[in-house]
Structure 1
Amino acid sequence: MKGLFKSKPRTPADIVRQTRELLIFAERNGNIREDKRLEKMAELSKLIRELKSILYGNSESEPVPEACTQLTQEFFRGDTLRLLITCLPKLTLETRKDATQVVANLQRQQVQSRLIASDYLEAHKDLLDILILGYENADMALHYGAMLRECIRHQSIARYVLDSDHMKKFFDYIQLPNFDIASDASATFKELLTRHKSTVAEFLTKNYEWFFAEYNLKLLESTNYITRRQAVKLLGDMLLDRSNSAVMTRYVSSKDNLRILMNLLRESSKNIQLEAFHVFKLFAANQNKPPEIISILLANRNKLLRFFSDFKMDKEDEQFEADKAQVVKEIVALGHLDRQ
């Protein structure tokens, strides 16, 4: 007879609903005995761990697509994502990690061939504001940063962040004194500027003046070695991308930009020199160099040729040697202009 009274197993949707109820409790956190509150928060941690197990599977079983679909539909049917994000500071460290993984996975879950997380975020863009401003909270920064990077996998959401006033804040977040948070902000910044090609090209074209003024001053000319190194590498990635050809042409037509790159070539760090070279070669290769660019290259022609004769990589690299030979050829050719 015992079997007749067994409780019915909870469905993934049931687990989401119970999680939502406890998140509402955590958000309100009214007058309740401490032991009761701890009991409910422990139950919430357990439920979030179950959600993670359904989405990722475990050591014994792979995730079941039908269960993942049920979970995803119920999660976005209610306001569970908002509750999870706003209640994150109240959860334990381990539960925050589990919650971050749940949010990350849900961005990739398709329901009837649609990424419904994208639709939800489209309708609740203020959640992105919370995630971005999370970089200002040392306890939350890495969790919110990881969630944010998953959310900007959706092109419309990345466009929202790029077009928001928050974009300017990243130049400061990248230089925060906490190395882990600064690195995380840098990873998000890079993702925003490289993942969605057409959106990035549109953003850079529309915001060229302020963006590169900030980029040059705060990143390429930063006193922090790591900031300079990452910034010059990302600059190369952006300018060498075909989608950004118009932006690249504009960038390599500026004498101020050329001076910054030439200073980076003089750095003692081989890594920075190499990344700077990949950008400098665009100035040299430009077949429509403005007169002021030609003038600077001519004035420094002998120094540049001496520099490139000694500039070598630790390991042999045919592409690097070919690029260097082409740059030298372009600089040598400027001498003919000077004699005309």
Structure 2
Amino acid sequence: MRERQQQRRDRVEEWETRRRAKRSRNTGVRTHPAIGDAVVSGADDEFLLDPYECDLDSEQQGSIGEDGYSATVRSLLQSLESDTSNQTSFGSPPSTDNPTILDAETEPSRTTVYFASRTHSQLSQLIHEVRKTAYSEHTSVTPLGSRNTLCIHDPVRSLGNIQRINETCLDMQKSGLAANKRCPYFPNDPAALQNFQDHALAEVRDIEDMVQLGRQLHICPYYGSRSTLTESQWVTLPYNLLLQKSARESLGIRLRGNIVIIDEAHNLVDTLSQIYSCTVHLDHVNKAFSQLTAYFQKYKNRLSGGNVIYIRQLLSLLTALRKYLNSGGNRRISLTPSANDTEESS
């Protein structure tokens, strides 16, 4: 680990030397394209729903064969037979030479410490204390955060709402967009991304340092920090990124075989309640019903049979919610999953 840290520092120093030499020769001013309005196609086909995966699966299963099994079941049986033939003896594990076997359960190459706290300021305090120790010279740390915290593209960052920031960020990565509509900081160059990794891991940094580094290197720190996870010994992150399964999968976080430290764990109950619950207002239901009705009236003749059924089910659900919320004095309803649902999703 010490040799690897020194190699990173050497690459960073070499990059800084080249940058200073280039800056002394270059007197131009670099400008960044600004984000415009969302790209909207003039064709209505853009708003048509794709068939659900379950509908496609049912179409691809085919008829039942002479053996009484569908094509899907026969494929599964053949897969099981293939796995069994790879075992050298009864009870021996399947060969890991096959990349499809145990791929999702591959153990990490090193033990990573995940330190979660409620706020980024508390995580920054941890980083400050780590810097005081002799271990900081040989410790690689990655601070993780949301796009709302790490985005450095000012037109997107200024949107304020985390949902709008997420959606706009993903929209700007779609293929076919003009160059001035794409995010100028998205790391498409492997060499530039490697340079970010070297800088990020060469010393212990907090979340604010990562934002500053992203601006300096012209690389998105949100995606740049994700690329450093496999080389990090410590990862600091807020509660929601640790406790939400979708967030862990998106970031590539694997907890199995690693160490998890939760600061102020007495806040977990309230945090889980906030993450897995929502409040629905009558105004929200009315808008959803109106918009979905208008959509269905326009596209119902062009939708697949399965999607027609799903939309009608949603309209029935919204109708029931409107009736319930209009019948009482309470114009909102709080939805919280059961303990079993929360356990399955985490």
TM bucket normalised to smaller: under 0.3
Structure having the larger proportion of residues in helix: 1
Higher relative contact order (CA 8 A, sep 6+): 2
Structure having the larger proportion of residues in strand: 2
